[in-house]
């Protein structure tokens, strides 16, 4: 039985070599004591794995070793990566971690249990991180809104989060920072998402003010299911001062559609001090973007087929100075 850590067939090896060249050109190199690279990626139905380099017509799931190796190559370019749509089945995730640690035990993982209920979609939130570059600094929690919370507008939120946001603190680049990852409810219409996005924005502002006492930075990242910039969903998300870095405004988020009509995935923070809410002290370098993996591996497949091998979303990333 083939393993993700095995040498791939010649054709796959050539495709992966091209992928590495593409990553070299698109993403800054990780430099000791110089930078910090943070990413988020919604990996479509990231659960099971078929132990073949190329999945056959009758294989299920369709994610195979070629698709997983592409994911491995991308994740390895960052210091910490937030993953969404990790399923109850951890097979693909464990193989990804095995590849990252094929030469040692440098990479760590933190993740939630699955969110129960239909809206939870058997999904987990996860962080993968290179312990040579960043280390957990103690906090790991899920965000739960108490019924008596006065900081969220009364009409903004009529239930608990569909998929509970997950927050973990890390120390790296000389700073402590808290990453909050989430996957916002899709719902039957965009209006179904406004309340949850507004609730998240208010919650983040209140928490940022509290964590300022401890000199911690707060960064939101994940799949916010925002359709486009400046629509009601985006306005709800940014209503308390959360700011998406300018380089991310025009980059594509998915392998389908144009860069501006699918604004789902975001990385955001409080760029300016507002009242008790502090400004981020980590320093963005101005480098940020997504990475389009289409055309590197499984070139014979349609985009729809590729989405089940790798993902329908593109990884989104930002660089901070050390």
Per-residue pLDDT at 16:
98
Which of residues 74 and 273 earns the better pLDDT score?
74
**Selecting from 3.40.50.720, 3.40.50.880, 3.40.120.10, 3.60.10.10, what CATH number does the domain 10-321 have?**
3.60.10.10
Q: Per-residue pLDDT averaged across 27-51, rounded? A: 96
**Alpha carbon separation from 79 to 34, 139, 200 (Å, rounded):** 12, 18, 25
Q: Per-residue pLDDT averaged across 139-150, rounded? A: 69
User: Which residues lie closer than 8 Å to 10 by C-beta, 6 or more apart?
Assistant: none
Per-residue pLDDT at 158:
47
Query: What strands lie across the sheet with 35-46, from one edge to the other?
Result: 107-111, 123-130, 80-87, 35-46, 316-321, 283-290
Per-residue pLDDT at 123:
84
User: Which residues lie closer than 8 Å to 226 by C-beta, 6 or more apart?
Assistant: 193, 197, 233, 234, 237, 263, 264, 266
With 70 as the cut, is the pLDDT of residue 189 above it? no
Distance CA 86, CA 88 (A): 7
With 60 as the cut, is the pLDDT of residue 67 above it? yes
Q: Please write the tens of the pLDDT for every residue from 83-130.
A: 999 999 999 999 999 999 999 999 999 999 876 556 556 788 999 999
Beta strand pairing call for 80-87 and 107-111: unpaired
Q: Where are the domains of the chain?
A: 10-321
User: Which residues lie closer than 8 Å to 263 by C-beta, 6 or more apart?
Assistant: 226, 227, 228, 229, 234, 253
Q: Per-residue pLDDT averaged across 292-303, rounded? A: 97
Q: Is residue 203 helix, strand or coil? A: helix
Q: What is the DSSP string of 90-132?
A: -HHHHHHHHHHTTTSS-EEEEEPPPPPSGGGTTEEEEEEEETT
Q: Is residue 297 helix, strand or coil? A: coil
With 50 as the cut, is the pLDDT of residue 152 above it? no
With 50 as the cut, is the pLDDT of residue 275 above it? yes
Q: Per-residue pLDDT averaged across 186-193, rounded? A: 62
Per-residue pLDDT at 145:
62
With 70 as the cut, is the pLDDT of residue 224 above it? yes
Task: Provide the whole-model pTM.
Answer: 0.90
The sign of the dihedral angle between the CA atoms of 26, 77, 82, 135 is negative
Residue 9: which pLDDT band, with cuts at 50, 70 and 90?
very high
Per-residue pLDDT at 148:
56
With 90 as the cut, is the pLDDT of residue 133 above it? yes
Residue 16's nearest CA partner among 7, 26, 25, 27 is: 7
């Amino acid at each position: 039985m083939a393993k993700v850590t095995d040498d791939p067939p010649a054709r796959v090896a050539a495709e992966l070599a091209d992928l590495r060249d593409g990553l070299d050109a698109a993403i800054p190199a990780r430099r000791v004591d110089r930078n910090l690279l943070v990413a988020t990626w919604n990996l479509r139905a990231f659960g099971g794995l078929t132990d073949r380099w190329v999945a056959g017509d009758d294989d299920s799931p369709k994610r195979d070793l070629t698709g997983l190796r592409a994911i491995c190559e991308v994740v390895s370019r960052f210091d910490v990566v937030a993953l969404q749509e990790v399923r109850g089945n951890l097979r693909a995730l464990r193989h990804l971690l095995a590849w990252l640690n094929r030469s040692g035990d440098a990479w760590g993982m933190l993740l939630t249990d699955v969110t129960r209920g239909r809206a939870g979609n058997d999904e987990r939130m996860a962080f993968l991180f290179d312990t040579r570059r960043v280390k957990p600094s103690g906090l790991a929690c899920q965000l739960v809104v108490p019924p008596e919370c006065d900081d969220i507008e009364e009409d903004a939120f009529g239930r608990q989060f569909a998929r509970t946001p997950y927050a973990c603190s890390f120390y790296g680049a000389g700073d402590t920072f808290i990453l909050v990852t989430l996957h916002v409810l899709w719902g039957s219409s965009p209006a179904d998402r406004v309340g949850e996005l507004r609730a998240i924005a208010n919650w983040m502002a209140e928490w940022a003010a509290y964590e300022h006492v401890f000199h911690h930075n707060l960064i939101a990242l994940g799949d916010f299911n925002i359709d486009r910039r400046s629509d009601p969903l985006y306005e709800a998300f940014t209503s308390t001062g959360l700011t998406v870095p300018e380089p991310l405004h025009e980059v594509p988020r998915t392998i389908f559609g144009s860069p501006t009509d699918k604004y789902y995935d975001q990385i955001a923070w409080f760029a300016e001090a507002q009242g008790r809410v502090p400004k981020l002290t980590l320093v963005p370098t101005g480098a940020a973007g997504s990475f389009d993996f289409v055309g590197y591996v499984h070139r014979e497949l349609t985009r729809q087929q590729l989405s089940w091998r790798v993902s329908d979303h593109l990884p989104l990333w930002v660089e901070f100075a050390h």
